């Protein structure tokens, strides 16, 4: 289950950037073509957060839809898999322009100065 490793990475990166403050919320963007299951990430998140600055933090996942562009005619095509055929000219030469991302969009940290 590679989502566990991915979740550990997310927790490690957020911890590093939190500057020692407790983390309240993490927002992650996951592309639909990335083959990562958001449910599995959510499931692993609580486990991975135990004993870290992220313990008790909320995880919000934003799913980014897949989008490709035809190399022949430039038509944009929405994709459910990381490949496809152009609706306009039938070409299978598709460049993926969106949907493969996995990134930490933002995080909310408790303000220690308050
Ligand atoms: Zn085309």
Question: What is the full per-residue pLDDT of the chain (114 aa) written as tens digits?
Answer: 589 999 999 999 999 999 999 999 999 999 999 999 999 999 999 999 999 999 999 999 999 999 999 999 999 999 999 999 999 999 999 999 999 999 999 999 987 665
Return the pLDDT at 113.
63
Return the pLDDT at 111.
78
Ligand 1 center from residue 92 Cα (angstroms): 8
Ion ligand 1: residues, CB within 5 A, are: 70, 72-73, 75, 86, 88-89, 91
Return the pLDDT at 95.
96
Return the pLDDT at 1.
57
Ligand 1 center from residue 29 Cα (angstroms): 28
Domains annotated on the chain, with CATH: 2-65+99-109 (3.30.2320.50)
Distance from C-alpha of 46 to C-alpha of 57, rounded to nearest angstrom: 8
Ligand 1 center from residue 101 Cα (angstroms): 24
Q: Are 33 and 66 in contact (CB under 8 A)?
A: yes
Torsion of CA 52, 3, 5, 82, to 10 degrees: -130
Ligand 1 center from residue 60 Cα (angstroms): 36
Q: Which residues pair with 96 in a beta bridge?
A: 68
pTM (two decimals): 0.86
Ligand 1 center from residue 94 Cα (angstroms): 8
């Amino acid at each position: 289950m590679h989502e566990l490793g991915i979740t550990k990475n997310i927790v490690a990166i957020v911890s590093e950037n939190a500057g020692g403050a407790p983390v309240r919320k993490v927002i992650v963007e996951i592309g639909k073509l990335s083959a990562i299951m958001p449910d599995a990430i959510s499931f692993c998140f609580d486990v991975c957060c135990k004993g870290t600055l992220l313990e008790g933090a909320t995880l919000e996942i934003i799913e980014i839809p897949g989008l490709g562009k035809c190399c022949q005619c430039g038509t944009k095509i929405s994709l459910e898999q990381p490949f496809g055929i152009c609706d306009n000219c039938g070409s299978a030469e598709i460049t993926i322009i969106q949907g493969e991302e996995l990134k930490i969009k933002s995080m909310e940290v408790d303000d220690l100065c308050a």
